[in-house]
């Protein structure tokens, strides 16, 4: 279980007295966006660097690291505090998912949950919107596309911002893989419904 605390250059969660915490299933990783992102990513792939042959696998791991750093940089620019995704065991089919957690300021002084299906979670009331996507016309049938998004929004305990969990399921748009998309949706909803607010550490 991980939380969103930690040093950062620009920390949108710095003034939160309680920060989001999520149970991360085996094979998934909670990746903080704040702090030294290059060091964070290098630690994620530390075991691969230590056990894989540097001459053959090393360049591939390096490309993965650079791609991950770009993902975290983009998440940070969008107010992100963490990204959660499967890393441990490759999926047996080309469908996977990720969850980006972001803190967003309200456009006006009044905070109210956006339109959507109201849900009760361990972190309090939220709204959820699930959107399915069709593959673009003329797209390569083997190309990876966004299959489904799941957006869940809470108001923070302090009442000064929104917490947005934006989950994306991507893969090859093949009907045979829809059960995998549905299974990932169930897993993501279970993870988000179990999200809680924990007292923030002020040691950093």
How far is Cα 103 from Cα 196, in angstroms, rounded to an integer?
15
Q: Is the pTM of this model over 0.85?
A: no
Angle subtended at Cα 192 by Cα 116 and Cα 182, rounded to the nearest 5 degrees:
80
What is the pLDDT, as a whole number, of residue 92? 57
How far is Cα 143 from Cα 162, in angstroms, rounded to an integer?
34
φ/ψ of residue 99, rounded to 5: -130, 125
pLDDT, tens only, 47-56: 655 666 666 5
How far is Cα 42 from Cα 69, in angstroms, rounded to an integer?
10
Residues of the chain with pLDDT under 50: 1-14, 89, 204
Q: What is the mean pLDDT of the chain?
A: 78
What is the pLDDT, as a whole number, of residue 9? 32
How far is Cα 140 from Cα 68, in angstroms, rounded to an integer?
25
What is the pLDDT, as a whole number, of residue 41? 77
Q: Tokens 């620009």 appear where?
A: 10
pLDDT, tens only, 2-55: 444 332 333 444 456 778 999 998 888 888 887 777 877 777 767 655 666 666
E strand spans, the chain: 2-3, 18-22, 28-32, 80-86, 95-104, 117-121, 124-132, 145-155, 162-171, 196-199
Q: Is 148 exposed, middle or buried (0-12, 13-18, 19+ CB in 10 A)?
A: buried
Q: Tokens 């540097």 appear where?
A: 54
Question: Quick one: angle between helices 37-44 and 58-77, nearest 10?
Answer: 140
What is the pLDDT, as a whole number, of residue 2? 45
């Amino acid at each position: 279980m991980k939380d969103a605390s930690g040093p950062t250059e620009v920390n949108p969660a710095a003034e939160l007295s309680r920060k989001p915490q999520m149970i991360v299933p085996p094979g998934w990783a909670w990746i903080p966006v704040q702090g030294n992102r290059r060091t964070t990513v290098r630690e994620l792939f530390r075991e691969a660097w230590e056990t894989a042959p540097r001459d053959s696998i090393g360049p591939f791991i390096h490309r993965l690291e650079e791609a991950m750093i770009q993902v975290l940089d983009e998440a940070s620019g969008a107010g992100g505090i963490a990204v959660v995704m499967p890393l441990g065991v490759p999926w047996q089919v080309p469908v996977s998912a990720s969850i980006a957690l972001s803190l967003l300021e309200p456009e006006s002084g009044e905070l109210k949950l956006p339109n959507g299906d109201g849900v009760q979670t361990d972190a309090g009331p939220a709204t959820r919107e699930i959107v399915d996507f069709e593959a673009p016309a003329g797209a390569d049938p083997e190309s990876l596309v966004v299959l489904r998004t799941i957006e869940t929004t809470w108001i923070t305990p302090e009442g000064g911002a929104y917490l947005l969990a934006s989950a994306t399921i991507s893969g090859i748009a093949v009907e045979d893989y829809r059960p995998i998309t549905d299974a990932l949706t169930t897993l993501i909803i279970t993870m988000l419904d179990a999200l809680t607010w924990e007292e923030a550490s002020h040691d950093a």
